[in-house]
Structure 1
Amino acid sequence: MTQTTTNSTAPFRYDIVGSFLRPQGLKEARAKFAQDKISRDELTQIEDKYITDLIHKEKEVGLKAVTDGEFRRSWWHLDFLWGLKGVAKYDYQKSYKFHGAKTRTDNAELAGKVEYNPNHPFFKAFEFTKSVAGPEAIAMQTIPSPTMLFRDNRSDNWPEFYDQRQDYLDDLATAYHRTIQYFYDLGCRYLQIDDTTWAFLISKLNETKDQPEEHAQYTQLAEDAVYVINKLLVGLPDDLTVTTHICRGNFKSTFLFSGGYQPVAKYLAKLNYDGFFLEYDSDRSGDFSPLATIWNNRENVRIVLGLVTSKSGQLEDRANVIQRINEAAQHVPLNNLCLSPQCGFASTEEGNVLTEEQQWNKLKFIKGIADEVWAK
């Protein structure tokens, strides 16, 4: 199975979802900051040190795109949402329903009309990441999807601030568009939007298929998601690659959602992303047949197969991973496929249940397979 065509633009043949295990020293520093034992400036200096070390390791393992590991965040999504105007932090009073683990009870909610924040803290964080990445690697920025505001009571109160839901959706898309444009102005050329909403919808559309009224609520949510995402993408620069990672939940090596992609494939096919990172590390993800639906509608799109789990340190069987890439290539041309971990290694600061050494071994494993499958 020799493939001579290389991939010099994002997403790359071997790529990452974005988050990395937090070193113990960083965890301790964040705990001290929470206890008012060190200042924000002191914490930032410590974060800078660990992020610099991380990016050097990412380069050493051969990654073409690097991230800051989300080391400045507690949550993969909430820290970003809290930085938008019109979004506030509050105590959800209950944890998210992961299988086998309980999260903290932080959440976000609408506190006004959603607006772009020119002083969003992620901008300064990206500037640092880009400066450390240098010319040898692309600094990739990861942010949560705007659809993350649709769920978990985060915007049920939209009528308090908007006469029409359409106005809320438009404001949300505009805030994201302006945010992404400013990342671009700062030098970002590769941005990933992480999204658990589609996995949530897989579960709900399956559960309600014999309940027409409730099913219609979830199909409307899917249509709203397509509208907002495509609207925020309109007019972004042509040399900016925007991908999405469809996540099924990732907390202390546990998960939230199961089911194949078929119920949402027709919606994914409408999304004007440049690439899709899709989790395929277990039977929970179903087969590869829905890939054809995406490909048939978006023939230039790249699909990044998350065949290597980030939830365990044990390496997969190499031959089996290559076989599964071959199976996926029956639905999408091999030249449009890539390989990555199924998710990040630490979607929250707690991290998954594996060691840092195992984390790096996973990435070396992925690169080795990609070099073999897409031979140079």
Structure 2
Amino acid sequence: MLGNKCYRSRQSRTRISERIVRCVISVSDEQIPRAGTGSRPRSDTVSGPSVERLEHTAKALMFKSMSVNSWRSYHTAVFNNFRSAYSLNNNWPADQQHVVLFVAYCFEKGLSPKSIKSYISGLSYIHKYRGWYDISNIFVVKKMLEGCSRSRQTVDTRAPITRKVLTVIISQLGKVCYNDFERSLFNAMFTLAYFGLFRVSELVATATCSNQLQIADVRVTGDKHAILVTLRKHKTNQRGIPVTIRIPYEPESALCPVRSFTDYLAVRPHSVGPCFCHVDGRPVTRNQFASVLSKCLLSGQLNNHHIKTHSFRIGRATDLASEGIQPTAIKQMGRWSSEAYNAYIR
């Protein structure tokens, strides 16, 4: 029954993703010309795949070019709603003046510079795909986006879960969890999230991502000195090139990722699938992860307003920096592809 539910859930996410792609871009007859329109003589037999099959493959390749989250952010509904609200024509390619007004509209609505830039990137992607002008290269639009960033500078208010804070959180699990299994489960997840600098979407299922860690991709070394975690996909690696992360044993610490994970393995159901699951085999969700974290913060009398699921990653990066670990090493350990890791060090 659980397997059927998971299968239906994956089917549902796939259908939603396909609808998003169809809304963002549609491969029409004008964009992929039909075969047989040239002057070369046609053969009565077709040795290759049909034109319909090639069109289907073209759509599939376009879909695979970006993550589902990117397709969602590139949805044109907001821009279309803006034009409808102001009685502007819905012609494509979009009028440049409409794009300029749209940027001003988003700013007036209080959207962050990052969100506004994302909307413009989506419009630009559609235009480039269809062979129209590149919105992102319009001088006025570029300067307006720069003005948004200068006028509305955002500050990351998320607080770090440092080793000290993590110790308090783990100590509260016995009070907020229903049983010893749940306590062991969330102890392993929270500890691994911190020491492995994991994004929550890499560990558990989220509303937009089903690439959660599988039990087959985690193993404890024979000497029990480390955990080896293989990530098939992550935010900066959408091409599915596996990355193996080695998380060492912490012999002098009350917080040991190897010990907490082996304790969880001892009680985990013997089944394949997601690494972190409840006693009945149901996978842990992001909402459940966040809910237990929030209860632990409340029980431990910690400020829970600025501590989020990403705080494990922020806290570990902060602790490593305070220990004198080289920035290049922190960047590699956290799987950052840019200098963005600097913003995580508090």
Which one has more relative contact order, counting CA pairs under 8 Å at least 6 apart?
A: 1
Higher strand proportion: 1
The answer, yes or no, to whether TM exceeds 0.5 is no
| TMscore range, shorter length | under 0.3
**Greater Rg by CA:** 2
